Amino acid sequence: MDSLRRRSLGIDELHANHFVVSVNKYGFFLCLKGSARILLGEEIYRLSPGSLCIYTPNTFFQILERSADLDGILEEDAVDAYYPVVSSIDIHRRLQIRRSPCVDLSTSQSRSIVRLVEVLDGEENEQCLQHLRYAVCLKVLEAYFSNKPAQAMPQSHDDVVLNRFIVSVYENCHTQRMVQWYADEQHLSPYYFSSIIKERSGLTAMQWIENVTMTFARQYLSCSDLSIKQIAERMNFPDQSAFGRYFKRCSGTSPSAFRLHPHPH
């Protein structure tokens, strides 16, 4: 099991317009410097120093815009690691976190979390690490519930269409890779739907579908022991050859070559 860890926002996996889904993970982000506009679930939030965002399993997260000096603490771990703490919370409170994931902390609350994380980062004893993880989790939850939920930013009709599409692609790209399907999902014509996506994001709907599909494909190739045939089956391609042609068209290399020499997108 991976331990909790502090991650710099300067690395590729969290650059602006990068997107992740917290599959089987709990985590939080505490903004310490700079500002950002993020998509969390289907809502948009404005972050500034002191903003705390908690994400729950299968939550979609994307940095839409950020300042050059954005920095903070991102901690995450598998569901099992946090279960002893999370399971003690009333179900209504757990639902509150999913519905309203962001709050604004006081300076003293932020500092207390930072101090605990610094102790965690410096600890090597596994038994002590487990207790410190629970302590960090409890401190974050205490800070969250002592503040009013932050309000999501208002969204235009086109913003809602785009955000729902992005989340839906992540949820459905293993089985649905046609623009028509996503347009039908929002009861829009493919032409009107595609024009909104292009205007609001700078990418076509098909580019989004291919980019997200390739994100999963690269993840399976670089981070799992699944065979290429098994990956093709998991992603619902007709066969391994069809998956190989799709992968090479989108990336310029074959799945087997990528697995031997992974490289960032």
Per-residue pLDDT reduced to its tens digit, 195-218: 999 998 888 999 999 988 998 899
Is position 249 within any domain? yes
Of 99, 125, 145, the last residue of a domain is 145
Per-residue model confidence (pLDDT) at position 238 = 96
3 assigned to some structural domain: no
- Straight-line distance from the first to the last Cα atom of the chain, in angstroms, rounded to the nearest whole number: 26
- pTM (whole model) above 0.85: no
Task: Say which DSSP state 13 is in.
Answer: G
Mean pLDDT check: name the lowest of 12-16, 121-125, 137-141.
12-16
**pLDDT single digits (tens) 161-204:** 998 898 899 889 999 999 999 999 999 999 999 999 999 888 89
List Cα–Cα distances, 8 to 144, 166, 201, in angstroms: 22, 25, 25
Same domain, yes or no: 244 and 201? yes
Q: Is residue 96 assigned to a domain?
A: yes
Q: Does a structural domain hold residue 243?
A: yes
The dihedral built from the CA positions of residue 156, 160, 161 and 163, taken in this order, carries a sign that is positive
Cα angle at 100 between 144 and 205, to 5 degrees? 135
Residue 20 confidence class, pLDDT cut points 50, 70, 90: low
The domain boundary residue, chosen from 84, 119, 145:
145
Give me the CATH number covering residue 93.
Answer: 2.60.120.280
Q: Show the tokens assigned to 193.
A: 């739907």
**Residues facing 56 on adjacent strands:** none
Q: Which residue has the higher pLDDT, 58 or 6?
A: 58
Residue 263: what pLDDT? 62
- Total number of domains in the chain: 2
Going by C-beta distance under 8 Å and a sequence separation of 6 or more, which residues neighbour residue 68?
Answer: 34
Taking the alpha carbons of 197, 165, 98, 54 in that order, is the dihedral positive or negative? negative
**What pLDDT shows up at residue 264?**
53
**54: domain range?**
12-145
Q: Is 16 or 25 the better-scoring residue by pLDDT?
A: 25
Among the listed residues 237, 220, 228, 226, the one whose alpha carbon sits nearest the alpha carbon of residue 174: 237
- pLDDT for 84 equals 79
For residue 115, pLDDT beyond 50: yes
For residue 87, pLDDT beyond 60:
yes
Does some domain include residue 189?
yes
Asked whether residue 223 carries a pLDDT value surpassing 70, the answer given is: yes
In this prediction, residue 32 has a pLDDT band, given cuts at 50, 70 and 90, of very high
Q: Name every residue whose Cβ is closer than 8 Å to that of residue 163 and which is 6 or more positions away in sequence.
A: 39, 42, 44, 155
Judged by average pLDDT, the poorest of 12-16, 80-84, 164-168, 208-212 is: 12-16
As to burial, measured by CB atoms within 10 angstroms (0-12 exposed, 13-18 middle, 19+ buried), residue 225 is exposed
> How far is 160 from 157, CA to CA, in rounded Å?
5
Question: Are 137 and 17 in the same domain?
Answer: yes
Query: Residues 20-29: what's their mean pLDDT?
Result: 73
Backbone φ and ψ of 96, nearest 5°:
-60, -40
Residue 8 has pLDDT above 60, yes or no: no
State the average pLDDT over residues 50-72: 84
Return the structure tokens found at 83. Answer: 């279960």
DSSP 121: H
Q: Which residue has the tokens 């014509």?
A: 189
Question: Using 50, 70 and 90 to split pLDDT, how confident is the model at 242?
Answer: very high
Structure tokens at 62: 């994307």
Q: CA–CA separation, 211 vs 238, rounded Å? A: 19
> What CATH number should be reported for the domain holding residue 200?
1.10.10.60
> Are 16 and 116 part of one and the same domain?
yes
75 contacts: CB under 8 Å, gap ≥ 6: 4, 5, 6, 27, 28, 117, 136
Check pLDDT > 60 for residue 239: yes
Q: What is the mean pLDDT of the chain?
A: 85
